[in-house]
A and B are shown apart, each in its own frame.
Chain A
Amino acid sequence: MKRTLIALVDDKPGVLNRVTSLFRRRSFNIESLTVGHTTQPGISRMTIVVDSTRTDSEQVAQHLCKLINVVKVEDITEQASVSHDLAMIKVKAQGGTTRSEVMQIVETFRANVVDVAQDTLIVEVTGSEEKLDSLVDVLRPFGILEMVRTGRVAMVRGNKTNEHTGGQDGNV
């Protein structure tokens, strides 16, 4: 089972290195890790996905908490949340028929075409990992030249926020 952890960390040089070095030396198997800014200056947010059949996610969380630059760690797997991945897919689209077929698929998946060239399109899509996987499957016969995915980012639904750094509970 995949478990999703959210970690708030100091936005300082070397903090990502501290986190990844921890995963490496403890042999923690991580499916994906994303980092970005939050609304709070000096605080970054990581979304970490752990395959719990291979790595105990509680051990990951407990070891993360020991890093001085980690402010807070939560496991949001059991909570109602929105979990999205973003992908950009460069696909071959030569000739009018092929191109319109690809465009139709893009529309069905509520994806966007963000670059159009003579022989290729870049398709951008966000959504669950399953949705992205199935779009990739459908596009594969046309010829995928390149793909980049961000890995999962997640946010709990409703009033609760995970961005509070002060106390143990983040209800607003």
Chain B
Amino acid sequence: MERSGAHIVWEALKQEGVQVVFGLPGGAIMHTYHPRSDYGIRHVLVRHEQGAAHAADGYARASGRVGVALVTSGPGATNLVTGIATAMMDSVPIVCITGQVATSVLGTDAFQEIDITGITLPITKHNYLVTDVDDLADTIHEGFQIARSPRPGPVLIDLPSDVQRATTQLQPAADRSLRPPYTFASAATRHVPPEAAERIDRAQRPLILAGHGILMAGAEEVLRAFSERTGIPVATTLLGKGAIDAAFPLSVGLMGMHGEAATNHAVQEADLLIAIGMRFSDRVTGTLCTYAPEAYKIHIDVDASELNKVIGVDVPIQGDAKDILAELLASVSPNAHPEWLDRIAQWKRQSHARDIVSRPVNGSLPPPHVVHAICEATQGEAIVVTDVGQNQMWAAQYFHPRGPYPFITPGGLGTMGFGLPAAIGAQIAQPEKEVWAIVGDGGFQMTVQELATVVQERLPLRIALINNGYLGMVRQWQEWFFDKRYEATRLVNPDFVRLAEAYGIRGWKAHTRDESGEAIAAARAHPGPALIEFITAQTGDEANVYPMVPPGAALHEMIRRSEHRSGAQR
């Protein structure tokens, strides 16, 4: 049977199990759009292509499936770039299909022509320009395999309009197995060496650093079993949130620039670090020369190029987190570290005394309280999607997802504008689950047009907008490190509740803790999409994220919130 390139696209997507595509049509992709409804694949119309990439990303993170974006050539394709780079940095499997001008005019600066495979070369796992319709089906299937195979990431397929139109009799190849990636002989082992198990048994102050790799490998249970057997506490990276339940007794919380003080102290004093599926990002380590100076370091990652990339480790192990943890579990002895845990508990008690959420109500609305209240109301049984900046750090510090609820945040690229469109993707992936977008007034306005998508798709999304009238994280840095010169960070904002209502979204405003609790309850009871604008302090102690490792400082040299109500303590 003769089929056109456009039909082949949808057939291949269907075979890959795709249920939904995020996109926006235009001239060079219209042939592909044309037969879509024959294939029963849902299309979500975004208002800007960046939203399509982020929504595909949020969908992938919330479902474990590959997210798909479909856009036209030229500006449609370039608008994806920020979203593709975000997915690349956080190892999220998405496939982006872009229209392209006809092959006969490729390279002539034709209308809406852009070299998108050239542009996205450094931000995709792989990309393709398909010039022959006979290659199309195999290319799409190969692209999906590449996107989801470890370490996952984005793939882009550029599709000239004549290839979409062209027809072929050719059936896609039956055997589509990818050539396995070559393993370079290196210092890294692929199994647990005996000295690693010995070190684990002997350690006095051991700590596990759990990253995104735990979640991607589905290694949560074996991690917990390993921690229980060895008595070793578990800290997580930002993307590793959820790798261990926050209520688990050996969970010590978030590490890094805005991590918990207790966790950062534990890293710095540890005599053994077992890092699994994390990459020693600069936001996790502080200055490298002072990082965990006493620790013997075991690093496990599926991507061998991450081993010894930024810090030299004693035992580099390349492999799947679940497999290697199972090996580790079998090779270590049961153990306990009461003194070490006592020391960590002592640091935790000090943190609690400084915690703004433990302070008495005084009429103001500290932003951490907003997140804390959402966490309490939902009991952690909600998918939280953050934007970037202070809102992201407060969400990470105060929202503790339970069990299978993912915490979705653009960690590596730090993409403002991610929150709303990614939450759309997450809500579509998990229609029955409660989804909260936690965003700031700065980032929200970068992709605010996607409110129309929320309404058009009738999504019951909840949006918590923390409005402090500033690009808050930059303002905080200006206060602490740039002589309090608030250069270009003050925002004159619209009335966000009226804005939401203009889109047909129910809105609430909250100025105090009491109002915030009521608004959260009302938004949760409301069947449709809801937005709450939380008016919080613009400057001063309540407006800042604590603790903070200043840039260039060691991990334990944190700026802490004072124990009393007076201003910041340096």
Q: A96–B567 Cα gap in the complex (Å)?
A: 90
Complex contact A66–B303 (CB within 8 A): yes
Residues of B within 8 A of A67 (CB): 126
Q: Pick the contact of B179 from A63, A64, A71, A74 — CB < 8 Å?
A: A71
How far apart sit A25 and B121, CA to CA, in the bound complex (Å)?
Answer: 11
Does A21 interact with chain B (Cβ within 8 Å)?
yes
Q: Are A21 and B305 in contact (CB under 8 A)?
A: no
Contact, CB under 8 Å: B182 / A65: yes
Chain A residue with the shortest CB-CB distance to B125? A68
Distance between Cα atoms of A67 and B179 in the complex (Å) = 12
- Residues from chain A with Cβ under 8 Å of B303 in the complex: 66
CB distance from A59 to the nearest CB of B (A): 7
> Are A71 and B186 in contact, CB atoms less than 8 angstroms apart?
no
A61 contacts partner chain B, Cβ-Cβ < 8 Å: yes
Contact A18:B121 (CB < 8 A) given known A59-B305, A66-B303:
yes
Question: With a CB–CB cut-off of 8 A, which chain B residues contact A152?
Answer: none
The answer to whether the Cβ of B187 comes within 8 Å of any Cβ in the partner chain is: yes
Q: Does B338 contact A (CB under 8 A)?
A: no
Q: Who on chain B is nearest to A169 by CB?
A: B185
Q: Which of B118, B125, B304 contacts A62 (CB 8 A)?
A: B304
| A118 / chain B contacts, CB cutoff of 8 Å | none
Is the CB of A58 closer than 8 A to any CB of chain B? yes
B129 CB, nearest partner CB in chain A, Å: 8
Interchain CB contact under 8 A, B308 and A21: no
Q: Does A90 contact B (CB under 8 A)?
A: no
Chain B: residues with Cβ within 8 Å of the partner, total of: 21
Contact B184 A21 (CB under 8 A): no
A65 contacts across to B, CB distance below 8 A: 181-184, 304-305
B122 at the interface (CB under 8 A from A): yes
B97 at the interface (CB under 8 A from A): no
Contact B305 A68 (CB under 8 A): no
- With a cutoff of 8 Å between Cβ atoms, the chain B residues found around residue A68 in the complex are 125-126, 146
Q: Return chain A residues, CB-CB under 8 Å to B182.
A: 65, 70-73, 168
B122: contacting residue among A25, A70, A75, CB under 8 A:
A25
Contact B184 A61 (CB under 8 A): yes
Rounded to whole angstroms, the CA-CA distance of A96 and B122 in the bound complex is 57
Contact-residue bracket for chain A: 20 to 34
Whether the pair A17, B121 counts as a contact (CB closer than 8 A) is yes
B118 / chain A contacts, CB cutoff of 8 Å: 17
Docked Cα-Cα span, A68 to B117, in Å, equals 14
Most buried by A among B146, B181, B184, B186: B184
Chain A 54-93: CB-based contact to B (< 8 A → 1; otherwise 0): 0010110111111110111111000000000000000000
State the CA gap A71–B184 with chains docked (Å).
11
List the A side residues contacting B305 at CB < 8 Å: 59, 62-63, 65-66
Contact B309 A59 (CB under 8 A): yes
B88 to chain A, nearest CB (A): 12
Distance from A34 Cβ to chain B, minimum over Cβ atoms (Å): 20
Alpha-carbon distance A17/B304, docked complex (angstroms): 23
**Inter-chain contacts of A73 with B (CB < 8 A):** 182, 184
Q: Which residues of A contact B126 (CB under 8 A)?
A: 67-68
List the A side residues contacting B146 at CB < 8 Å.
68
State the Cβ distance, B314 to closest chain A Cβ, in Å. 16
User: Complex formed: what's the CA distance from A61 to B182 in Å?
Assistant: 10
Residue pair A21, B121 in contact (C-beta under 8 Å):
yes
Chain A residue numbers with a CB within 8 Å of B187 are: 58
Whether B181 lies near A62 (C-beta < 8 A) is: no
* B 102-118 contacts with A by CB, 8 A: 117-118
Question: Complex formed: what's the CA distance from A47 to B122 in Å?
Answer: 22
Residues 1-38 of chain A, each 1 if its beta carbon lies under 8 Å from chain B, else 0: 00000000000001001100110010000000000000
Known A21-B121, A59-B305; judge A66-B181 contact (CB<8 A).
yes
Contact A58/B186 with A21-B122, A25-B122, A68-B125 known, Cβ cut-off 8 Å:
yes
Bound CA–CA A70/B182 (angstroms): 8
| Per-residue A-contact encoding for B508-538, CB less than 8 Å = 1, 0 else | 0000000000000000000000000000000
B306: nearest chain-A partner, CB-CB: A62
Residue of A nearest to B142 (CB): A68
Beta-carbon contacts of B173-217 to A below 8 Å, as 1s and 0s?
A: 000000101111111000000000000000000000000000000
Q: Please measure, in the bound complex, the distance between the C-alpha atom of A168 and the C-alpha atom of B182, giving whole angstroms.
A: 8
Q: Nearest Cβ distance between residue A40 and chain B, in whole angstroms?
A: 14
Give the chain A neighbours of B183 by CB distance below 8 A. 65, 168
Q: Once bound together, how far apart are the Cα atoms of A70 and B308, in whole Å?
A: 22
How many Å lie between the Cα of A61 and that of B188 in the bound state? 13
- List chain B residues, Cβ under 8 A from A168: 182-183, 185
Kindly state the separation between the CA atoms of A115 and B117 in the bound complex, as whole angstroms: 43
**Nearest Cβ in chain B — how far from A7, in angstroms?**
9
A57 to B186, CA, bound (A): 11
| Chain A 119-155 residues near chain B, CB threshold 8 A | none
- In the complex, chain B residues whose CB is within 8 Å of the CB of A18: 121
A62 touches B186 (CB 8 A): yes
Nearest residue, chain B, Cβ from A8: B182
**Is A58 within 8 A of B121, CB to CB?**
no
Distance between B103 CB and nearest chain A CB, rounded to angstroms: 13
Q: List A contacts of B307 (CB < 8 A).
A: 62
Q: In whole angstroms, what is the CA distance A116 to B118 when docked?
A: 44
Cβ-neighbour of A61 out of B117, B121, B122, B186 (below 8 A): B186
A18 to B128, CA, bound (A): 12
Write out the residue numbers on chain A whose beta carbons fall within 8 Å of the beta carbon of B181. Answer: 65-66
Rounded to whole Å, the gap between the CB of B87 and the closest CB of chain A is 16
For A67, A68, A71, A75, which residue has the most chain B Cβ atoms within 10 angstroms?
A: A68
Closest B residue to A58 by beta carbon equals B186
Of A17, A63, A66, the most chain B CB neighbours within 10 A belong to A66
Q: Which of B287-306 contact A (CB under 8 A)?
A: 303-305
Distance A62 CA – B146 CA, assembled complex (angstroms): 17
A63 to B306, CA, bound (A): 9
Distance of A21 Cα from B120 Cα, bound (Å): 11
Instruction: Report A-chain residues with C-beta under 8 Å of the C-beta of B186.
Output: 58, 61-62
A6 to chain B, nearest CB (A): 11
A-B contact pairs, 12 of them (CB 8 A): A56-B308, A58-B184, A58-B186, A62-B184, A65-B181, A65-B182, A65-B304, A68-B125, A70-B182, A72-B182, A74-B185, A168-B185
Ordered nearest first, which 3 A-B pairs have the shortest CB separation?
A62-B305, A68-B126, A61-B184
Show the binding face of B for A, using Cβ within 8 Å: 117-118, 121-122, 125-126, 146, 179, 181-187, 303-305, 307-309
Given contacts A66-B125, A71-B182, A72-B182, 8 further A-B contacts (CB under 8 A): A65-B184, A65-B304, A65-B305, A67-B126, A68-B126, A75-B185, A168-B183, A168-B185
